[in-house]
Structure 1
Amino acid sequence: MFLKSVEIKDESDILTSRRMVRDASLGMGFGIVDQTKLATAASELSRNIYRYAGFGTVSIESIKNPDGIKIIFEDEGPGMEDTELAMKEGYTTTPGSLGLGLSGSKRLVDEMTIDSEPGKGTRIEIIKYLP
């Protein structure tokens, strides 16, 4: 079931997506630790939309059996050449970055899938189940 969505087109939208995810996870019954994990992952992945694509969307859905939350990050940016390489801790294409955004986000959630193709954008789905 669809809950909320926000467009990422400005740096301030990163905070909006973070707040939206935190509020939705609170409303679904997640504890403070899981709320913080989800908000942190949302912040990192929203920042990637802003940094690499310039525009995209973040959508939140509730899922059933088992109960949880799914957050979808979509853009029509440059896409990724090699998603496996992009997921390696320390890998970055941004000077000065620690290369922890994607790999760090994956550690904060129960499931993460990436669908990306050069020139066609990226779609990332993260899922966190209620304990």
Structure 2
Amino acid sequence: MENQSSVKILSEWDIVAARQLGRNIAKELGFGTVDQARITTAISELARNIYLYAGQGEIQFEPVNEFEKRGLKVTAVDHGPGIQDIRRAMEDGFSTSGGLGAGLPGVKRLMDEFDLITSLGEGTTIQVVKWLRDRRFG
């Protein structure tokens, strides 16, 4: 597997492609089915946000190794309008698209690390990481 893979988000079909690629990479890295589902759900939310709010962008996948930990880093990048009120966007139930609003707070709960950088008029980058659990320790 190459070091980094990505899917450009230009249509709703690209959301499906990003989910599938993310699940395949997670599986290759040794994630169990529950964590694969968590990662896939997070990718789906991030890709859908790009599609709905920015129109286009990219989901990038990168295996990461840090000390004794291995995991998967997922980065969502767009050059859309940016997030006007980050605090509000991170509230459960908040949605500007009429969706369920599980969005960003849901992504943060599903993953182990969550980092959001946004600039009004320039776009948003969200980086999340899921670490492999050491099977010896549960």
TM-score (ref. length: structure 2): 0.91
Give the counterpart of 1:73 among 61, 76, 92: 76
Aligned to 1:101: 103
Q: CA deviation at 1:97?
A: 1.6
> Highest Rg: 1 or 2?
2
Deviation, 1:115, is: 0.3
Distance in 2 (CA, whole Å) between partners of 1:9 and 1:102 is 20
More deviation in 120-129 or 97-106? 97-106
CA distance in 2, matches of 1:91, 1:117: 20
RMSD (CA atoms): 1.1
How far apart, CA to CA, are the structure 1 residues paired with 2:34 and 2:23? 11
Spell out, residue by residue over 1:76-126, the C-alpha distance to the aligned partner (whole angstroms, 9 max, x if none).
0010112122111011112x3221111111110001111011101000001
Which segments of 5 or more consecutive residues in structure 1 lack a partner in the other structure? none
**Which blocks of at least 5 consecutive residues in structure 2 are unaligned?**
134-138
Higher relative contact order (CA 8 A, sep 6+): 1
Which stretch of structure 1 is more off in the superposition, 85-94 or 41-50?
A: 85-94
Q: 1:62 is paired with a residue of what secondary structure? A: strand
Distance 2:34 2:18 in 1: 18
| Structure 2 counterpart of 1:54 | 55
Secondary structure in 2 matching 1:2: coil
Aligned length in residues? 130
What is the TM-score with the length of structure 1 in the denominator? Answer: 0.95
- Superposed structure 1 runs of 4+ greater than 3 Å apart: none
Paired with 1:43 and 1:97, the residues of 2 have a C-alpha distance of 13
